[in-house]
């Protein structure tokens, strides 16, 4: 394993965890991800696809339980341990790291924010799953609303956004959901449950909404679109979901309409941002290591590439980006995950989103420079660097674009810089209006 500074800083337990996950990423995840990357989308979701074997092994290792404290049946990992697992998995494959991330969202949110009946009915079987029977996905964006779903959180004038493509209506003690989510929902083609954001029927704003758990079951009215054929992240399938009068019981609603919905969305994005930031570090490290090894071997101008000054500087800049991003992401993860376990709902979105932006940006920059070091070989399928580059390109759109996340942080900093880093009152004011 590469000699980054963190190896000196980790305790024996943390180092062992890092080595265990790295071994799994190298021996199991990476070979399967390369195979999946080259398969047509429909083949990737057939029962004999290598995707399911990797997911099964991940479940056996219990990584899906890592966000939850032990008293909720989770692994009770520390924020640093969570960050280590995310980084190592993404070193192996951004697609599989994303697959695990979106699997955890509905069930972990149900455990942390939902009712005890929902925990018993849905979360417990998922926690106990060691065969890959259950798989979650996070259904946010819609055909007509991508970035809107990030921007609505602080925009006082969301009426201009137009109608949602999906709505929910209360009918007795059930909710009825109709509409669709975008073709980009990660893991949707293979998921059994969605954590779905649904505006309520007739609502003026996207934020008058519920967050609920929906079993993605055809007999209850859910249809899945074909898996999308994307440039990168092909090792985790993305696809549309259609909801035709899908009925869910009241207790499947994790967050009801009202002021808490905005706070919940902020806190959820804080958690996903820590994941994305660590994924960025892992992907950047994978690209850096490929470039370093290649530059040691490739001879041009009579000597290995590493002897040329421009290559040395490129490698230094990559190293600098990875080291600094890792430290910022870990610091923010400590802030966010410790608050998540205590359920104080006051983690700082501006810092969490900055960690996400920084991790994703350096992943793209490092993968871009790493490919340049390979010359034309970097463009051929012979080397993994072209896959890492395509994945990094997708990453700066996945989970909201760098630009829109940046605009959100800017708005928060400009309006609230002198206040506490999380202004609950401001969000309450927006959502009670």
Ligand X SMILES: Cc1cc2nc3c(=O)[nH]c(=O)nc-3n(C[C@H](O)[C@H](O)[C@H](O)COP(=O)(O)OP(=O)(O)OC[C@H]3O[C@@H](n4cnc5c(N)ncnc54)[C@H](O)[C@@H]3O)c2cc1C
Residue 351 Cβ vs ligand X, minimum distance, rounded to whole Å: 20
Name the helix (H) or strand (E) containing 330: helix 309-342
214 binds ligand X (CB under 6 A): no
| Closer by beta carbon to ligand X, 369 or else 391 | 391
| Closer by beta carbon to ligand X, 207 or else 238 | 238
Interface mask toward ligand X for 67-106; x: CB under 6 A: -----------------------------------x----
Of 15-74, which residues contact ligand X (CB under 6 A)? Answer: none
For residue 137, list its beta bridge partners. 194
CA 68 to chain centre: 16
Phi and psi at 115, nearest 5°, equal: -85, 160
| Closer by beta carbon to ligand X, 6 or else 148 | 148
| Closer by beta carbon to ligand X, 6 or else 37 | 37
Of 395-424, which residues contact ligand X (CB under 6 A)? Answer: 397-401, 403-404, 407
364 binds ligand X (CB under 6 A): no
**Of 271, 311, 371, 394, the one binding ligand X by CB under 6 A:** 394
| Closer by beta carbon to ligand X, 305 or else 394 | 394
Task: Name the residue with tokens 């057939």.
Answer: 46
| Cβ neighbours, 10 Å, residue 292 | 18
**Of 180, 238, 333, 341, the one binding ligand X by CB under 6 A:** 238
User: Given the DSSP bridges, would you call strands 174-186 and 166-171 parallel, antiparallel or unpaired?
Assistant: antiparallel
Residue closest to 262 by CA, chosen among 427, 425, 407, 106? 427
209 binds ligand X (CB under 6 A): no
Residue closest to 323 by CA, chosen among 272, 364, 368, 358? 358
269 binds ligand X (CB under 6 A): no
**Of 41, 69, 146, 221, the one binding ligand X by CB under 6 A:** 146
186 binds ligand X (CB under 6 A): yes
Residue 182 Cβ vs ligand X, minimum distance, rounded to whole Å: 6
Residue 282 Cβ vs ligand X, minimum distance, rounded to whole Å: 16
Interface mask toward ligand X for 271-290; x: CB under 6 A: --------------------
Residue closest to 57 by CA, chosen among 82, 94, 84, 20? 20
Residue 45 Cβ vs ligand X, minimum distance, rounded to whole Å: 15
CA distance 154 to 150: 9
392 binds ligand X (CB under 6 A): no
**Residue closest to ligand X (Cβ):** 146
Residue closest to 424 by CA, chosen among 278, 277, 264? 264
| Closer by beta carbon to ligand X, 226 or else 312 | 226
Residue 142 Cβ vs ligand X, minimum distance, rounded to whole Å: 8
CA distance 110 to 121: 10
Please check whether residue 83 is in contact with residue 274, taking contact to mean a CB–CB distance below 8 angstroms.
Answer: yes
Residues in the chain: 433
Q: Strand 209-215's sheet: what is its strand order?
A: 136-139, 193-199, 209-215, 253-255
388 binds ligand X (CB under 6 A): no
CA atoms within 13 A on the CB side of 88: 26
Six token digits for residue 61: 């290792």
Sites of contact with ligand X (CB under 6 A) = 102, 138-141, 146-147, 151, 182, 184-186, 233, 238, 394, 397-401, 403-404, 407
């Amino acid at each position: 394993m590469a000699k980054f500074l963190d190896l000196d800083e980790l305790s024996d337990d943390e180092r062992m965890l890092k080595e265990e996950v790295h071994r799994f990423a190298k021996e199991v995840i990476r070979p399967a991800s390369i195979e999946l990357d080259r398969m047509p989308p429909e083949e990737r979701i057939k029962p004999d696809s290598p995707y399911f074997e990797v997911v099964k092994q991940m479940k056996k290792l219990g990584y899906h339980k890592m966000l939850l404290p032990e008293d909720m049946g989770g692994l009770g990992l520390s924020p640093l341990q969570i960050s280590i697992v995310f980084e190592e998995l993404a070193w192996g494959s951004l697609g599989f790291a994303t697959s695990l991330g979106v699997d955890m969202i509905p069930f972990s949110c149900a455990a942390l924010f939902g009712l005890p009946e929902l925990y018993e009915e849905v979360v417990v079987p998922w926690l106990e799953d060691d065969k890959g029977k259950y798989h979650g996905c996070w259904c946010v964006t819609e055909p007509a609303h991508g970035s809107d779903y990030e921007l609505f959180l602080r925009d006082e004038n969301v009426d201009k956004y137009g109608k949602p493509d999906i709505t929910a209506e209360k009918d007795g003690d059930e909710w009825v959901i109709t509409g669709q989510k975008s073709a980009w929902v990660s893991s949707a083609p293979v998921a059994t449950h969605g954590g779905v954001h649904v505006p309520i029927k007739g609502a003026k704003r996207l934020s008058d909404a519920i967050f609920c758990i929906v079993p993605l079951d055809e007999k209850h009215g859910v249809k899945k679109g074909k898996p999308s054929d994307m440039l990168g992240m092909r090792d985790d399938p993305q696809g549309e979901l259609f909801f035709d009068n899908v009925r869910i019981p009241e207790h499947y609603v994790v967050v009801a309409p009202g002021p808490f919905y905005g706070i919940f969305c902020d806190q959820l994005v804080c958690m996903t941002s820590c994941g994305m930031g660590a994924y960025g570090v892992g992907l950047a490290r994978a690209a850096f290591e490929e470039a370093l090894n290649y530059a040691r071997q490739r001879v041009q101008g009579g000597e290995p590439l590493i002897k040329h000054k421009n290559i040395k500087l490129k490698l230094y800049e990559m190293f600098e980006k990875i080291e600094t991003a890792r430290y910022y992401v870990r610091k923010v993860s400590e802030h966010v995950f410790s608050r998540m376990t205590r359920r104080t709902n006051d983690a700082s979105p501006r810092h969490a989103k900055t960690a996400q932006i920084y991790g994703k940006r350096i992943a793209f920059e490092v993968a871009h420079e790493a490919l340049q070091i390979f010359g034309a070989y970097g463009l051929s399928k012979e080397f993994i660097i072209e896959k890492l580059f395509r994945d990094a390109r997708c990453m700066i759109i996945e989970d909201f674009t760098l630009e829109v996340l940046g605009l959100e942080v800017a708005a928060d900093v400009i309006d609230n810089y002198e206040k506490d880093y999380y202004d609950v009152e401001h969000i309450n004011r927006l959502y009670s209006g």
